[in-house]
Structure 1
Amino acid sequence: MKKLDFALIPFDSKTAPTIEITGTISRQDHQLNIEYLFTGDLATIIIPPPAKTAPTRQYDLWEHTCLEFFLGLEDTTAYWEFNLSPAGNWNVFHLKDYRQDLAEEMVITSLPFTVLQSTDSMQLNLELDLNPIISATQNLEVGITSVVENQDQQLSYWGLQHPASEPDFHQRDTWMIRL
């Protein structure tokens, strides 16, 4: 099993809330595990409360605090975008190329993740069976990101790196993790 630590950085550190986003990601065969950990002054951000009904597939989760990751197959242009709301709602999209032919990935019917929250931390853990979309032998390029909404309802964009003049999580050169 390959397990890696990560730390996300804000696109604009001057306007970002005073938090840290770190975590771990690991893969063993068809099983992908990812853990996000938010620490710091969480009172400065808006964390959606747990859904009152069963979590569902939803659009536009990134318009509020949302944890995201991208999985691309090595040597191909196709990739998947995963969106996870701390409220429990989620979505998965498949794209054939950079921002091309976005479609919900219907073979994934749920995302089994948990959220633990206290006054000074929030942890999201996901255990994902990749079998429906990726074989155990395929190498992955991974981007880990987050959109964070502050109390003024302004969004900040967090990623492993930000080489462009605007935040763009779909840029493959920001996907620094190989599994």
Structure 2
Amino acid sequence: MANISMTETVLQCHPMSEKGFVDAIAVHVDRAEGGRLQIKYTLHGLVDGIDFPEVAQPKRTDELWKDTCFELFCGRADDRSYVEFNFAPSGQWAAYAFTGYREGMTELACAPPQIKCTAGEGIFEMTVTVDLPESLRALDVMAGFSAVIADKHGRTAYWALAHPPGKADFHHKDCFALQLEARSAA
């Protein structure tokens, strides 16, 4: 039987974000052996008023953060390098590797994540299955889960596990606030 680690946490709205259309965002993450993550983002709020991108062909797409999207940042605690994944409700995605804080950005070679979305009265859920890069699969990693949520009135709210002082900045190591322990076969 595989050894799986499950963690539930909540994101915090950035103090300078526009408020009133998202009440809460929770994250549930399962880390299985081999570095596979299953992440469920659950948004509570005025779902009908959120500006979700239209469903599109699932493919790698840049600049998803300009619209409603959910994100994962992770890296080792003792290393400046990290990776970033962006997951859009449209089914589009992006993945990047960085050598340091916003430095040395390259496209991360990886399998496409699986993205599934459901919505109901006051609730939106996005479930993502993604494989960590080979370099992080067998290690404990520090993770940052975040979301950019735009509404149909032009307001934007930035959500993360933690926020550094100043403007919203998901690349800042202060946002990498959850340790995900490496897993192996039991």
Question: Does TM-score exceed 0.5, indicating one fold?
Answer: yes
Q: Deviations over 1:86-130 (max 9, x none)?
A: 000000000001000111102x13111211122422111112223
Letter in 2 for 1:18: F
Unaligned runs of 5+ in 1: none
Which consecutive aligned stretches of 4+ in structure 1 deviate over 6 angstroms post-superposition?
none
Of residues 23, 28, 40, the one that matches 2:27 is 23
Structure 1 residue 23: Cα displacement: 1.9
Secondary structure at the counterpart of residue 169 of structure 1: coil
Q: Deviations over 1:147-173 (max 9, x none)?
A: 011122232211112231111101112
Contact 1:12 1:156 in 2 (8 A): no
Identical-residue share of aligned pairs (%):
26
**CA distance in 2: counterparts of 1:17 and 1:66, whole angstroms:** 18
Of residues 114, 117, 120, the one that matches 1:118 is 120
Q: 1:13-92 maps to which residues of 2 (within 5 A)?
A: 15-19=18-22, 20-29=24-33, 30-51=35-56, 54-92=57-95
CA RMSD after TM alignment: 1.7
**CA distance in 1: counterparts of 2:119 and 2:178, whole angstroms:** 26
Secondary structure at the counterpart of residue 12 of structure 1: coil
Secondary structure at the counterpart of residue 46 of structure 1: coil
Contact 2:143 2:176 in 1 (8 A): yes
**CA distance in 1: counterparts of 2:125 and 2:51, whole angstroms:** 15
Secondary structure at the counterpart of residue 62 of structure 1: helix
**CA distance in 1: counterparts of 2:144 and 2:28, whole angstroms:** 12
Unaligned runs of 5+ in 2: 181-186
**CA distance in 1: counterparts of 2:168 and 2:134, whole angstroms:** 30
Contact 2:112 2:130 in 1 (8 A): no
Letter in 2 for 1:58: T
